[in-house]
Amino acid sequence: MSNPYLEWLDENQEVQRLEIVDKIFIGRSCKGIDRQKRILVCNAQVSRDHAVISRRAKSLKIKDMSKNGTWVNGIRLAAGASSDLADEDVISVGGVSIKVSALSGDTVTQEKAILTDGTMVTPTEVVVTNVVADVREFSTFSQAHASADVYALMKEIFDAFSSIVFDCKGTIKDYAGDAVYAFWDHHVEPMRQRAVLACQAAVQQTQAINEIRTTLSGKNSATANLEMGWGITTGKVTLSHYGSRAADLALVGDCTNLAFRLSGIANKDLSDKIIICSQTADLVRNDFALQDLGTIPIKGRKGKEHVFALNPA
């Protein structure tokens, strides 16, 4: 049976191929890994052990283990997360694009220089659209229900929301107890397109909540009182890394803070479930029905913010 393989261009622009028998490691050194099972990328922003591709029967899966990110078809994997791979998928690591092919080919390995210094984590300013989905009154909500019921419900939410974010080409940043935080990096596709995808994800999440209520009705007492709000913002953030864990990716910027603030007042202080900032509104106004809510004060922030309600069609 023919094996799938990975194909990429080396630094001399020559095509290289490597068969996937069981596992392929991608990184700057991949110390201790056989040459037939590794792709070395000589780039200081690539971690020593950056990602691993595993094969089981006819399926392929990639797992991110990096500090600066792994991309599949232009979508950043959540730090430490795994994703299925399909024929023709393109993995991007440290400026090298690696294509997945299901056809067999000559196995060719390539040896790169091994760097012994640490991974260079470079803070990068990027434009993103943030989506924060927040459970209303989570402390009171948790106090009123058994922890097992709250866990079961939040797991349903996290699983459903994660699938929606992935389908809409976004990246999950955090599951923060009562909130799901995802972002769309604009450098991959035009800003408008990424903002539209982010808003589509929020709309689909509101629909998913209704389905979860229906599915768990009568089975989980926590479902009856579940209410959520969404905050969406677009702006510049510095994307970098805190701490020693690969999962400690940080997005630092005012628009991130604002997204959490807007999610906190949506479907609470304001009756609308999805509240978006003016920058996002400018990008998506031709794709969604928006209601101008004017400029309002927001707790913890100076001045006022011009906000809009996004009303699902």
**Does 258 or 110 have the greater pLDDT score?**
258
Handedness of CA 267, 269, 271, 274 (dihedral sign): negative
Percent above pLDDT 70 for the chain? 88
pLDDT of residue 136: 81
**Does 21 or 239 have the greater pLDDT score?**
21
Q: What is the torsion angle, in degrees rounded to the nearest 10, for the CA atoms of residue 289, residue 183, residue 124 and residue 253? A: 70
* Mean pLDDT (whole number) for 196-220: 90
pLDDT of residue 109: 39
DSSP class of 70: -
| pLDDT, tens digit (0-9, with 9 covering 90-100), for 67-103 | 888 999 888 888 888 888 988 899 999 888 999 987 4
Examine the pLDDT at 124 and tell me if it is beyond 70: yes
Tell me, rounded to whole angstroms, the distance of Cα 50 from its chain centroid: 17
Confidence of residue 121 (pLDDT cuts 50, 70, 90): low
Examine the pLDDT at 113 and tell me if it is beyond 70: no
Query: 5-101 maps to which CATH number?
Result: 2.60.200.20
pLDDT of residue 116: 33
| 135 to 110, 222, 248, 257: CA distances (angstroms) | 50, 12, 23, 17
- DSSP of 244-264, one letter per residue? SSTT-EEEESHHHHHHHHHHH
pTM above 0.85, yes or no: no
Closest CA to 78 of 94, 62, 58, 56: 62
pLDDT of residue 225: 72
**Does 21 or 58 have the greater pLDDT score?**
21
Rounded Cα gap, residues 90 and 19, in angstroms: 15
The interaxial angle of helices 191-216 and 147-167, nearest 10 deg, is: 150
Percent above pLDDT 90 for the chain? 41
Rounded Cα gap, residues 285 and 190, in angstroms: 15
**Does 120 or 259 have the greater pLDDT score?**
259
Q: Where are the alpha helices (DSSP H) in 30-187?
A: 138-144, 147-167
The CATH superfamily assigned to 124-311 is Nucleotide cyclase, GGDEF domain (3.30.70.1230)
The mean pLDDT of the chain is 84
pLDDT of residue 241: 65
State the number of CA atoms in the 13 A half-sphere of 224 facing the CB.
6
Q: Taking a C-beta distance cutoff of 8 angstroms, is the pair 40, 55 a contact? A: no
Tokens of 230: 């969404």
Confidence of residue 313 (pLDDT cuts 50, 70, 90): low
pLDDT of residue 69: 86
Confidence of residue 119 (pLDDT cuts 50, 70, 90): low
pLDDT of residue 305: 96
| pLDDT, tens digit (0-9, with 9 covering 90-100), for 224-248 | 777 899 999 999 998 776 655 555 6
**Does 176 or 265 have the greater pLDDT score?**
265
**Does 244 or 61 have the greater pLDDT score?**
61
Rounded Cα gap, residues 193 and 209, in angstroms: 25
| pLDDT, tens digit (0-9, with 9 covering 90-100), for 260-310 | 999 999 999 999 999 999 999 999 999 999 999 999 999 888 999 999 999
Domain edges within the chain:
5-101, 124-311
pLDDT of residue 304: 94
Examine the pLDDT at 217 and tell me if it is beyond 70: yes
Cβ neighbours for 87, distance < 8 A, ≥ 6 positions apart: 4, 100, 101, 102
Examine the pLDDT at 16 and tell me if it is beyond 70: yes
